[in-house]
Structure 1
């Protein structure tokens, strides 16, 4: 599969510095062999994480400007699955796709909306506690080293699976051969062979068929009778204007119409293989455009920016920018960032120069030139007070405001796509503000300008009514791009990127995109053995380009490195495998490689791995003198060339497919051998343990939240509270039958040592305080409801009466503490009832402990990213059905809508 890369020009803008030789001479190979000591036993493919190696005579890893070594939290992950789950680059017009460098000759390979191009190593974890996962490298035996045999077994299983699939396909092809053929079957293209195959009813993975020759083939390859959607009826309904009926809002009407349509007949597009295969995405498209943010409302006259002690009046355009900064003084992560402040002040002063700076009370011009002399506190205090007012609004008023907003936006929530009503995702145009960016983005703090209708291009059907632009404005352009899945687009001013209004995550188009992504990963099952065999061979190639490419594929497949793309000068200095620099790689004999660089979203990637001896030797060659800092490691390789090579194995195969395949394959192997028993929380923990293993391998790490220790402490407090309650119930048994103390033994009734008198007093006080807060909030909520219904509110006396129960419990605690006796509670208490109560409390304690272990294990791992984007959702559905765990325990309502196709298409026997 080797191909020449000599004719592939290196991207402009890339630091080409010292370039590797075209060929690897035998002399260099032999010299490197002499420099590579062997310990006699090599276990390639291992990874040692969690911190630098010290006290060893090795190259010193560079910190890449991140001296403290801290990773930035990926706080947005949990809310960005819409962007992360599908590659929106495919939906963009070719002329509009973003280039990362204007000089680059190659287009950007990966969509920014796709999260982590992370393949992963395959291995099966032992049965360990959550806290053991990701143990530090200072233990005697690293976790990964313990998993060598399991990892090798999983890789062998993958190779065996690939051979079995190809054998079945070959046998099936032979069986279907016609008796007389005009040409040799070997010369017939694969596409033609498939046309000869008789139509076969697809099972969608839910039922077995007699002929299992294609049981492992991707679902997209299996044929199924297409179910006709009630297109005419849906079209007729959607063409009818939405009217406000009695007692119903427009939103309710729209939702009711959608429910009625769903009840008539469900369109199971995943059973129709003809859908989504062509480039034409729609025939008819109708929608109402986008929602713009409200216009800027100037601050009250008494709220001013203070410059050098003087309150100044600003032009509305400049004042709006000042409010962007002033309203977020509580975001210390940003306002203490020097780059953020520098960029903000540059844009702010540019607007001040344009509008004439500020005026003092006498009307004299005040030149604002120094950021340090600006005091934004009055602005912050005003916004903070407004936020507090909004938060303090009665529930009924909040509900009314939300209903009013929903009604105003109702017409934008849905579009009509080929006669079917589909929910629109992000129909709101982003409001102006300050750009935050992820990680250490160089443009953080820049002003995001207000988007005007004149910047927006609308994509709609030719026969559809074009949405009206706001009064006094017009759209930039109207298009009828049937190959695009976007409804509107505009270019933002920060990075020049295009923003798109797309369908919601639960729409047919988005679902088909996810479906095809995971089917492509399943298709890779057939080829993974050949790919690995080929890159192992090319690791020793005399041709430098082939050797570099093979080494890169090895690292991508084995160690979760992203492919990497070229960056423009104004973009964050993040890298991937193909763009690694000299300083990002440290070599430690006999065969350890330490990676330390800023990866996607400027998140630090630090990993020490044990590699194949040949890979270690290759890395030494790629770093060979006279190369030095900022020289490329893979100087004869580009992401484009790498992906072009991979497409030779299967159409559409790129480096990013490896992470989906490896994550799903590993999860499938773990679930296949799993015997999950016990309670629902215990089964959920089993699933999370497997998911955590995949997440660690995918490098979905996160900084431990500042609130984590407090959360764990609260969970432990709840467990201790339950333990205290168990002790109280046991003491109640003595109140009913004093002789039981002798029967069960005094030890059974002793209070746990750690729950001493000091702890008891604090616990009792917290219980009483919690009761007071709960009763008071209930009282206030009841009063709000009475007020909303036009009824008379309750008086404060009612609250005092309700709080009497707290006073009674306080007296009871005081009496118990003094006498040491606890009176039995409840109606007709008996020993049997109290014993049942103890068992119930002990079960709650075990559940809480499992949840706490799970939370502790997840403190540095982002499970959501792997579960949502890389693990085939059908595997989660299989676990849910196989072990009788409600799917709600794994997927939120939004995710259930997004993965509706997965939930409805498989049963517990489905295999990835």
Structure 2
């Protein structure tokens, strides 16, 4: 499909050598003549995910101007620095154990919208943020499966259009040239939802909830309309507001406010607001709320000075510091156990620079006699006393009794309770995270250039509060005031501040299970469903344009191919001076792409959140030739591959097919549509729940592979697998003991069932058996001790005397008896029958249960091994329509708890309740 008029075609990006505006037929013929005759690998799959082999990196010299490209270290060895300091309760030294995060949270590294080159706070319109089968299967088989699914998608698209007679929207009318790539470009009509006259929804303006959405510029503010009040949980308040004449609405709101109780005192049994059941859509969808009340934010506790005998040392000398400098020193000293950070030269350099600035501003460091100590070299700083103090504090905290920990938690919960909920149009809604970030050291994600910088304490004077006009403004801490208070009912955040590291804005938003976030998710998946109608035309058009004579069109078609086939993110322009140099498809540079004949493309770049993206793809030969052309000399390192294409231009082109269509919708569509087809192909008969769960995960795994949702093998994977193997061996040993008990009751069974039936498995060696017996004895002792402690805590809480030590000694006799029993069994090679009234029938029933437990663990082990390099969570939570999971659960009678945790069940309540037990729903 043509991209439109010549005016819409982008000029080449001004950053080095540019591609020619057109491609001559002679150039095309020359490239065709150079085609390799060797066998090409299956098209459309990732064939590798790891480091670049030096001996496999041969590149056409006519493309790169060099014989080989220097390889990088393995992705398994790359260091990822993650800023996880949003947890107010977590120690600064602790990092998240995994780089994979609940995808619905907003990235710390997303850019803020810019105006005239300056960093400005977002306008009212810029503040609506969304939260946003086997690995060993032959590549040809996976590629064929992917090709078949695409053929089915084309047939379905034609069928939908034939059934609904939907007209393709005009190409340019609803599009503004200055629009950002992440704002809805036009509103879909009622008939454009899945090709049917679907119910309208009153969702949020920003329709996508992917976590890779930047805070972007919005369209101009819509004229003030008569806002229709959202259905409220309190019928009286809702009815009063809705029914009031135009001139009396404010008075009614005021009355409702005066009569309302504190947010946290609201009746928990209030009627639930099921927005997904609404039949009417709000007239002005940009208005998010009519009334909004909340209690502000939770600030971190003030810093407490170190004991006098705990000092930072410089060149062996203990130094006295101002309270601000001392706190900054603890940021580094308290995380000495996190060697991946503190041993990173960039982390050290950035910390020391910021630490020096604080020292200079606060009077510097002094020795015990008050003499100034000039701190010049980081290497001479000794933080060991700070770490020893922190480590001792942590151990003491962990050693407290359960009663003390519970009491502290209860006190903290009571203190935080007023901030955890707000009243949104009269409804009680949960706040996502009302805590202001604690000061500390910025970790960043991936190889972030600012890792180690000091994150300063956020003061009330930096925070803007967003609240209803008639609501009471929360009081700031004593002696402080808010930066500003605004009443923007087109924004969904409650509070906002700007952090000092990257100048990004941080927001207090509603929780993932809130109405606003639920609607955003719903609209995201509905838009992906709508894409079903147009996908065949889009693919046919970009396939045709892969051979276009216009360079801009050919580059756009090639980018669309990569985004559609391999789930690459589109990428956004960045202020590289202030941002980590991360890229996406449209912003790929010469050095990020390596070509290997006949049709392998190797990508190696820092992607979203500075996480390294390394992968090899087999592509269509025409795409390979195009990339070869886009890298043609005199292009070199630093030059753009797609120098005549921007993300905005690409999304404007996509919107000509479907209102609001952007590049990121393809990720959701491809994952959901593929999962839908795989689940439809399943044939489940006489399977257990565990087997059904594994079938679902197998489908999810194929989606992750086909959609390129890969990950590195977790550091704990091998340990987890060993633990599972030990559990399975332990159950097999238990089976052998049970059989021996049967033999103890009826020795004739040996002749009846055969001696082999009672043999111990070959891999359960004598050495392993003794080791396992020791483990069982120690495990029983640990359980007895734990039970004794709990019983004592309960007695103390009830005002009773604790149990004496003699009671524990008596209880531990059971472990000693078990140890003696094992010694006797090892000596006699016989096992006495256990339990009350033991019988052969009871023991055979026990064997059946053990067999089922072993089978379940083997399924779990195979599942975990298959998932080690595939990010199932990314697909299931962010890209696969949750209604598909609900349908699977209903169709095969598997509890939804097997797929969604409690948090996810709350987040996807709209999907669970809207589908219910309807196993016929289709994506």
Q: TM-score range by the shorter chain?
A: 0.7 to 0.9
How is 1:312-711 mapped onto 2 (pairs within 5 angstroms)? 312-567=319-574, 568-677=576-685, 678-711=687-720
Q: Which residue of 1 aligns with 2:774?
A: 765
How is 1:706-725 mapped onto 2 (pairs within 5 angstroms)? 706-725=715-734
CA displacement at 1:604 relative to structure 2: 2.2
Task: Say if 1:595 and 1:76 are closer, same or farther in 2 by CA, change over 3 A.
Answer: same
CA deviation string 1:717-738 (max 9, x = no partner)? 1111110111111111111111
Does the residue aligned with 2:922 lie in a helix, a strand or coil? coil
Task: Say if 1:469 and 1:228 are closer, same or farther in 2 by CA, change over 3 A.
Answer: closer
Comparing 230-239 with 516-525, greater Cα deviation is found at 230-239
Task: Say if 1:407 and 1:9 are closer, same or farther in 2 by CA, change over 3 A.
Answer: farther
CA deviation string 1:99-128 (max 9, x = no partner)? 897599x99x99998899xxxxxxxx4xx4
Counterparts of 1:68 and 1:511, CA distance in 2: 35
Counterparts of 2:522 and 2:362, CA distance in 1: 52
Counterparts of 1:86 and 1:654, CA distance in 2: 23
CA displacement at 1:267 relative to structure 2: 2.9
Aligned: 1:148 with 2:157: no
1:881 corresponds to which of 876, 883, 890: 890
Counterparts of 2:480 and 2:2, CA distance in 1: 56
CA deviation string 1:327-378 (max 9, x = no partner)? 1111111111111111001000100011121111111111111110111111
Any conservation in 1 of the 2:310–2:386 contact (CA below 8 Å)?
yes
Does the residue aligned with 2:594 lie in a helix, a strand or coil? strand
Any conservation in 2 of the 1:85–1:869 contact (CA below 8 Å)?
no
Task: Say if 1:88 and 1:343 are closer, same or farther in 2 by CA, change over 3 A.
Answer: closer
Any conservation in 1 of the 2:463–2:497 contact (CA below 8 Å)?
yes
Task: Say if 1:633 and 1:192 are closer, same or farther in 2 by CA, change over 3 A.
Answer: closer
Q: Which residue of 2 aligns with 1:784?
A: 793
Any conservation in 2 of the 1:311–1:361 contact (CA below 8 Å)?
yes
Aligned: 1:157 with 2:177: no
Counterparts of 2:342 and 2:616, CA distance in 1: 34
Task: Say if 1:242 and 1:377 are closer, same or farther in 2 by CA, change over 3 A.
Answer: farther
TM-score, normalised with respect to structure 2: 0.85
Q: Which residue of 1 aligns with 2:86?
A: none
Task: Say if 1:215 and 1:355 are closer, same or farther in 2 by CA, change over 3 A.
Answer: closer
Counterparts of 2:283 and 2:608, CA distance in 1: 30
Q: Which residue of 2 aligns with 1:58?
A: 58
Aligned: 1:3 with 2:7: no
Gaps of 5+ in 1: 90-95, 117-124, 136-141, 174-190, 198-212, 244-249
Does the residue aligned with 2:46 lie in a helix, a strand or coil? strand
Q: Which residue of 2 aligns with 1:217?
A: 196
Counterparts of 1:277 and 1:824, CA distance in 2: 75
Counterparts of 1:808 and 1:748, CA distance in 2: 28
Counterparts of 2:161 and 2:413, CA distance in 1: 54
Counterparts of 1:630 and 1:87, CA distance in 2: 23
Q: Which residue of 2 aligns with 1:293?
A: 300
Any conservation in 1 of the 2:75–2:614 contact (CA below 8 Å)?
no
Task: Say if 1:16 and 1:112 are closer, same or farther in 2 by CA, change over 3 A.
Answer: farther
CA displacement at 1:407 relative to structure 2: 1.4
Any conservation in 2 of the 1:62–1:596 contact (CA below 8 Å)?
no
Q: Which residue of 2 aligns with 1:818?
A: 827
CA displacement at 1:50 relative to structure 2: 3.2
CA displacement at 1:679 relative to structure 2: 1.5
2:113 corresponds to which of 97, 111, 116: 97
Any conservation in 2 of the 1:442–1:570 contact (CA below 8 Å)?
no
Any conservation in 2 of the 1:593–1:608 contact (CA below 8 Å)?
yes
Q: Which residue of 2 aligns with 1:829?
A: 838
Any conservation in 1 of the 2:590–2:636 contact (CA below 8 Å)?
yes
Q: Which residue of 2 aligns with 1:44?
A: 43
Q: Which residue of 1 aligns with 2:105?
A: 83
Task: Say if 1:78 and 1:70 are closer, same or farther in 2 by CA, change over 3 A.
Answer: closer
Counterparts of 1:637 and 1:150, CA distance in 2: 31
Does the residue aligned with 2:104 lie in a helix, a strand or coil? helix
CA displacement at 1:462 relative to structure 2: 1.2
Any conservation in 1 of the 2:230–2:290 contact (CA below 8 Å)?
no
Counterparts of 1:852 and 1:193, CA distance in 2: 46
Q: Which residue of 2 aligns with 1:32?
A: 31
Any conservation in 1 of the 2:42–2:139 contact (CA below 8 Å)?
no
Aligned-residue RMSD, C-alpha: 3.3
How is 1:262-273 mapped onto 2 (pairs within 5 angstroms)? 262=271, 266-273=273-280
CA displacement at 1:410 relative to structure 2: 1.6
Does the residue aligned with 1:529 lie in a helix, a strand or coil? helix
CA displacement at 1:193 relative to structure 2: 12
Counterparts of 2:548 and 2:276, CA distance in 1: 46
Does the residue aligned with 2:355 lie in a helix, a strand or coil? helix
Does the residue aligned with 1:478 lie in a helix, a strand or coil? strand
CA displacement at 1:699 relative to structure 2: 3.2
Task: Say if 1:727 and 1:76 are closer, same or farther in 2 by CA, change over 3 A.
Answer: closer
Does the residue aligned with 2:507 lie in a helix, a strand or coil? strand
TM-score, normalised with respect to structure 1: 0.86
Task: Say if 1:5 and 1:763 are closer, same or farther in 2 by CA, change over 3 A.
Answer: farther
Task: Say if 1:516 and 1:826 are closer, same or farther in 2 by CA, change over 3 A.
Answer: same
Counterparts of 1:219 and 1:506, CA distance in 2: 24
Any conservation in 1 of the 2:194–2:529 contact (CA below 8 Å)?
no
Does the residue aligned with 1:318 lie in a helix, a strand or coil? helix
CA displacement at 1:663 relative to structure 2: 0.5
Counterparts of 1:433 and 1:171, CA distance in 2: 55
Does the residue aligned with 1:489 lie in a helix, a strand or coil? strand
Q: Which residue of 2 aligns with 1:794?
A: 803
How is 1:95-174 mapped onto 2 (pairs within 5 angstroms)? 97=113, 125=133, 128=134, 133=135, 135=136, 143-170=138-165
Task: Say if 1:396 and 1:98 are closer, same or farther in 2 by CA, change over 3 A.
Answer: farther
Task: Say if 1:194 and 1:547 are closer, same or farther in 2 by CA, change over 3 A.
Answer: closer
Any conservation in 1 of the 2:48–2:615 contact (CA below 8 Å)?
yes
CA displacement at 1:658 relative to structure 2: 0.4
Any conservation in 2 of the 1:61–1:583 contact (CA below 8 Å)?
no
Any conservation in 1 of the 2:462–2:482 contact (CA below 8 Å)?
yes
Counterparts of 2:390 and 2:68, CA distance in 1: 45
Task: Say if 1:239 and 1:874 are closer, same or farther in 2 by CA, change over 3 A.
Answer: farther
Aligned: 1:17 with 2:16: yes
Any conservation in 2 of the 1:15–1:630 contact (CA below 8 Å)?
no
Counterparts of 1:69 and 1:417, CA distance in 2: 45
Task: Say if 1:649 and 1:171 are closer, same or farther in 2 by CA, change over 3 A.
Answer: closer
Does the residue aligned with 1:311 lie in a helix, a strand or coil? strand
Counterparts of 2:657 and 2:734, CA distance in 1: 64
Counterparts of 1:86 and 1:277, CA distance in 2: 31
Counterparts of 1:518 and 1:50, CA distance in 2: 29
Task: Say if 1:23 and 1:69 are closer, same or farther in 2 by CA, change over 3 A.
Answer: farther
Counterparts of 1:164 and 1:603, CA distance in 2: 41
Any conservation in 1 of the 2:739–2:758 contact (CA below 8 Å)?
yes
Q: What is the number of residues matched between the two proteins?
A: 836
Does the residue aligned with 2:105 lie in a helix, a strand or coil? helix
Comparing 387-396 with 899-908, greater Cα deviation is found at 387-396
Counterparts of 2:74 and 2:723, CA distance in 1: 33
Q: Which residue of 2 aligns with 1:203?
A: none
CA displacement at 1:830 relative to structure 2: 1.6
Counterparts of 2:429 and 2:163, CA distance in 1: 40
